[in-house]
Structure 1
Amino acid sequence: MRSILIPTDFSDNAMNAVRYALELFKYERYDFYIMHAYEDTIYKETTNLTRENIGKVTKEVADRSAAELDRILKEINTFSPNPRHKYHTISSHNILIDEADKIVDEKNIDLIVMGTRGKSNDRKITFGSQTLQVLKYVQCPVLAIPEKQRYTQPKHILFPTNYLIPYKRRELKLLCDMVAPYRSIIDVVYISKIKKLSLRQEDNQLFMKEALCKNEINFKTIDSKDVVASIEQYVNEHPIDMLVMVNTRESFLESFLYPSRVDQLSLKLNVPFLAMQNIKRDG
C-alpha cells in the first residue's frame, strides 16, 4: 500500500488538491495523510500576541486546526467513500517544511499532493511560496495541482529530459503505477541542439523505457536550447494532462544565484506538475 501526504491550509485550492488526488488514485489502495502545520498561524493570529497569552492563542489555533481536519474527513467520506482508501489527519505545532519532511520519513511517503495557491491566492504566483518550498526542500516527489484544476484522466503526459540523470527506480515506478490504469501515453522529450545521444544517455533512456514498460512511450527530440520555452510551447500545442520533471538537488548558493527551471515554469504552468526529486530512498 502506498502513502500520500496532502498538506492543507483549509483553502479552496487545498481542498481541490484533495479531490484531485482521491480521484486520480481511486483504483488502488492508498493511505492518505491530511496534514495541517499551524506554527506560522500562531504568530500571524494577532498583533497583540505576548508571552503571557501565547499559550491561550496556541490552544485556540490547535483546536481550530483539529476541528477543520475533522470537517475535511467528513467531507471526504461524503464525496469519496472509497473502501480502498484509508484516511489519517495530522495537526502539528510546526512549520510546513519541517513537518512534511518529518512525515515523509516516518510514514515512508511516496508522494506529496498540493494545490498551487493557498489562502494568499496571489495571481502573480502560480505555485505559491509554500508549495515551491516543499518542491525544493522536501525529499519526496510532489504533485502540484493548479488552482481550480478540474480532474481529467492523465491520458497524455509530457516528460522532458536530457537523459543525463539516472532516474530512481522508485520514482519511475510511482509514475508508471499512477498512470497505468489510464493507459496513458508518455511523451519523453529530449530538448537539445545535439541530437546524438552519448552512451550514458542511451543507457538512461533504456532504463526509463524498462521502468515505464506498462505505458506507451513516445521518444521525441526537440532541436532547441531554451528548455523552458520548449516545454511551454509543447504543453500549449498538445493535449497534455500532466507535466513530469526532475528537481535536481542544487547547492543553496547555486539556487540563489541561478533560478531553476522549476522556478521559471512555476510562473506559467496550467497543468498538474509532478516534480520528482531524484533522491535515494528505501523501497
Structure 2
Amino acid sequence: MRKILIPTDFSENAMNAMRYGIDLFKYEISEFYFMHAYQDEIYADEASLTRETLEKVKDEVAKRSKKQLQITLKNINEYSPNPRHTYHIVSSNSLLMDEADRIVDEQNIDIIVMGTRGITNDRNLTFGSNTLQIIKYMQCPVLAIPENYEYTQPKHILFPTDYMIPYKRRELKLLCEIAAPFRAIIDMLYISRSKKLSMRQEDNRAFLKETLCKNTVNFKVANGRNIVDTVYKYIKENSIDMLAMVNSRHSFLENILFQSTIDEFTLHLDIPFLALQNMRRD
C-alpha cells in the first residue's frame, strides 16, 4: 500500500497538488494524509496578540483548520471517489516541518506531494520557503507540483546524475513504480566534459540499470559546465514531463538547493519535480 502525505495551506496551489497526487496514484491502493499545521497562523499578528487573547486565538484557528480540512475532504471525495484510496485529515498546532516529520515517521510515509509554492505564492521564487525546507530536510521523497500544472501522465522522466553516490533501493523502487503504469521512459543524464566513468561510477550505473529494470532507461551524456542550464535545456528539447533528482551530500541537487543565492535559482520549473532522498530512513 502506498502512503502519501499532502500538506495544505488551503491555497489553490495546494489543492492542485492534491489533485495531481490522487491522479498519479489512481491505479494503486493508497492512503492519503491531508495535513494542516497551523501554529504560524496563531502568532501571525503578534502586535495584537496578548496572553489574555492567546487561548481564544488558538481555539479559533484550530476550529478554522478543522473546518477547512473537512471541506477539502468533501471536495476530494467528489473529485475522486476512488475505491482504491483512503483519505485522512490531520489538523495540528505545530510547525509544518515538525508535523510532517512526525507523520512521515509514524505512518512510514512513502512520498510527500505539495505545491512548489503556497498561499504567499512569490512568483520570483521557484520554490516557496516551506517547500524548500521540506525538500532539503525531510527524510522521504518529495514531489513538488508547479502552480496551475494540469495533470499529465509522466511519460518521459529526466534523472540527472553523476553516478557518484550509491542510490537507495527504496527510493529507486518508488521512481520505478511511478513510471511503470505509464510505460514511462527514464533518461539518466550524465553531465560531464568527459564520457569516461570511474569504477565507482560504473558500479553505481549498473545498480541503477538493475533497479530500474521494469522501465525503458536511456543512458545519456551531456557536455555542459552549468548543471542547471544543461538540465533546463534538456527538459525543453526532449519534452520531459517530470524531473527527478537526488538530495544527498555533494549531489547536483544539494549544490542547487544550498547555494547562498537560492533566489537566483534559474531553473524555473514548469513540470513536476521529484526530490529523492539518499539518506537512511529510521
Under a length normalisation based on structure 2, what TM-score does the superposition of the two structures give?
A: 0.94
Contact 2:113–2:144 (CA under 8 A) maintained in structure 1: yes
Look up the match of 1:84. Answer: 84
Instruction: Give the drift of 1:256.
Output: 11
| Change beyond 3 A, Cα 1:86–1:54 | same
| Change beyond 3 A, Cα 1:198–1:256 | closer
Matches within 5 A, 1:1-283: 1-45=1-45, 47-249=47-249, 259=259, 267-281=267-281
Instruction: Give the drift of 1:103.
Output: 0.8
Q: Deviations over 1:256-279 (max 9, x none)?
A: 995189886575111100001111
Residue identity in the other structure for 1:136: K
Secondary structure at 1:53 match in 2: helix
Listed as ranges, the gaps of 5+ residues in structure 2 are none
Q: Deviations over 1:237-259 (max 9, x none)?
A: 11101000011147xxx989951
Matches of 1:257 and 1:101 in 2, distance apart? 20
Instruction: Give the drift of 1:126.
Output: 2.0
Q: Deviations over 1:174-213 (max 9, x none)?
A: 0101110000000000001121111111111111111111
Percent sequence identity over matched residues?
A: 62
| Change beyond 3 A, Cα 1:22–1:265 | farther
Aligned-pair Cα RMSD in Å: 2.0
Matches of 1:235 and 1:51 in 2, distance apart? 53
Residue identity in the other structure for 2:168: K
Secondary structure at 1:52 match in 2: helix
| Change beyond 3 A, Cα 1:258–1:31 | closer
Secondary structure at 2:219 match in 1: strand
Residue identity in the other structure for 1:57: V
How many corresponding residue pairs? 279
Q: Deviations over 1:53-96 (max 9, x none)?
A: 10000010000100111111111110100010111111010000
Listed as ranges, the gaps of 5+ residues in structure 1 are none
Matches of 1:260 and 1:79 in 2, distance apart? 41
Secondary structure at 1:159 match in 2: strand
Matches of 1:102 and 1:93 in 2, distance apart? 13
Matches of 1:2 and 1:281 in 2, distance apart? 16
Residue identity in the other structure for 1:7: P
Secondary structure at 1:244 match in 2: strand
Matches of 2:228 and 2:43 in 1, distance apart? 38
Residue identity in the other structure for 2:74: K
Contact 2:125–2:263 (CA under 8 A) maintained in structure 1: no
| Change beyond 3 A, Cα 1:223–1:261 | farther
Residue identity in the other structure for 1:153: Q
In the TM superposition, structure 1's runs of 4+ consecutive aligned residues that sit over 3 Å from their partners are: 254-258, 260-267
Under a length normalisation based on structure 1, what TM-score does the superposition of the two structures give?
A: 0.94
Which piece of structure 1 moves more, 141-150 or 37-46? 37-46
